[in-house]
Amino acid sequence: MAEPRVIITIDGPAGAGKSTVARLLAAALGYLYVDSGALYRLVGWQAAENNLSLDDAQALSAFLERLQPEVAADTQGFHLFLNGREISQVLREPRVSREASRVAVLPPVREWVTSRLRHLAANGGVVAEGRDLGTVVFPRAKAKFYLDASLEARAVRRRQDWQNEDASTEKVARELAERDRRDSSRAAAPMRVPADALVIDTTNLNPQEVARQCLARIREVFPEIAGLEMKTG
């Protein structure tokens, strides 16, 4: 009997460690790693590049219809291509993350991203990370996780991610707090903890420790998935 190919969701705020843990789980499971944030960053980046008025519903709809990225996902990477050019590195720039937060509150953008995520996960076998995956995008997923950490810890991690960004930890913390407020209060798919998710505080844990907790839960939910081992040493 073939092992099930299931959907694993990891939600939580920026800097909680979602990306690293999701990659570790994808490697252990042999699943695809799916980064929903990359799709929001793509929309935000292209909207800014094209001077799109986010208040113009008709223009936004036409823009989203034209935006047709190519996606290549594997156990360790989620790569986006636009017009034949890989743009994954560009999408990691701090300015692009800020543009993403502007468009992420818009229902048409969330619908556009949700549609693509569900298409990618149509056959299961994915570990997907984001902010509304367990509540909105994949509400029927059986293994859901919500990672959180103190604002200070998250700011330190995010500042390390933005090595070329000249910003203090305090400034990054303020930006994260504002992003949390927007994500939690938006009308469309607000960030919240899925009722059936395992909540993990990652403040004092390394990614491998978090991933092991997640794998233990996955074994409980899906005992038929055999041979789950951390491939991280």
Q: Is 177 in a helix, a strand, or coil?
A: helix
Helix (H) or strand (E) holding 9: strand 7-11
Rounded to whole angstroms, how far apart are CA atoms 177 and 187? Answer: 18
Q: Is 225 in a helix, a strand, or coil?
A: coil
Report which residue type is found at 203: T
What is the pLDDT, as a whole number, of residue 228?
Answer: 57
What is the pLDDT, as a whole number, of residue 92?
Answer: 87
Task: Read off φ and ψ for residue 177, nearest 5 degrees.
Answer: -65, -40
Question: How far is the CA of 33 from the CAs of 30, 52, 149, in angstroms?
Answer: 9, 30, 22
Rounded to whole angstroms, how far apart are CA atoms 3 and 154? Answer: 36
DSSP per-residue codes, 43-111: HHHHHHHTT--TT-HHHHHHHHHH---EEEE-SS-EEEEETTEE-TTGGGSHHHHHHHHHHTT-HHHHH
Cβ atoms of 26 and 157 closer than 8 Å: no
Report which residue type is found at 4: P
Rounded to whole angstroms, how far apart are CA atoms 3 and 168? Answer: 47
User: For the CA atoms of 109, 83, 125, 91, what is the dihedral angle to 10 degrees?
Assistant: -60
Rounded to whole angstroms, how far apart are CA atoms 180 and 190? Answer: 10
Give the global pTM: 0.90
Domains of the chain, CATH where assigned: 7-221 (3.40.50.300)
pLDDT, averaged in runs of 10, over the chain (233 residues): 81 95 95 96 96 94 97 91 94 88 93 97 96 96 97 92 73 90 84 95 97 95 72 48
Cβ atoms of 225 and 4 closer than 8 Å: yes
